Amino acid sequence: MITMTHYLVFSALLFCISVAGIFINRKNILLLLMSIELMLLSVNTNFIIFSNYSNDITGQVFVFFILAVAAAESAIGLAIIVSLFRARNSLEINLINKLKG
């Protein structure tokens, strides 16, 4: 029997993987974008679980909004990445350290 705990653990694992993806990954900025998407998905999963559990449709409706926004966001992200690539001819994160104080 798959209980709610299993779902929550799964969602937490997914979130941890994506967080790890953000700061262990040092190669490609595209992977960074994908990790962020994954993070959003794990949060969505939580929404769906709680919505189902409390018999409230609002959570599931919200997921659609988040998906739409995430899609728009990744489109912008991709555009930024493309212009970044044009400017610097590489997508290596190690080279992007201009945020230094």
Binding site for another protein (CB under 8 A): 19, 22-26, 32, 93-94, 96-101
Rounded to a whole number of angstroms, the minimum distance from the CB of residue 7 to another protein is 21
Backbone angles phi, psi at 73, to 5 degrees: -65, -45
Rounded to a whole number of angstroms, the minimum distance from the CB of residue 27 to another protein is 11
For the chain, what is the largest distance between any 2 Cα atoms, rounded to a whole number of angstroms? 53
Nearer to another protein, 36 or 48 (CB): 36
Rounded to a whole number of angstroms, the minimum distance from the CB of residue 22 to another protein is 5
| Amino acid (one-letter) located at 56 | D
- Number of C-beta neighbours around residue 15 at 10 A: 18
CA-to-CA dists, residue 7 to 11, 23, 47, 48, 100, angstroms: 6, 25, 11, 10, 40
Nearer to another protein, 61 or 95 (CB): 95
Rounded to a whole number of angstroms, the minimum distance from the CB of residue 61 to another protein is 27
Nearer to another protein, 56 or 92 (CB): 92
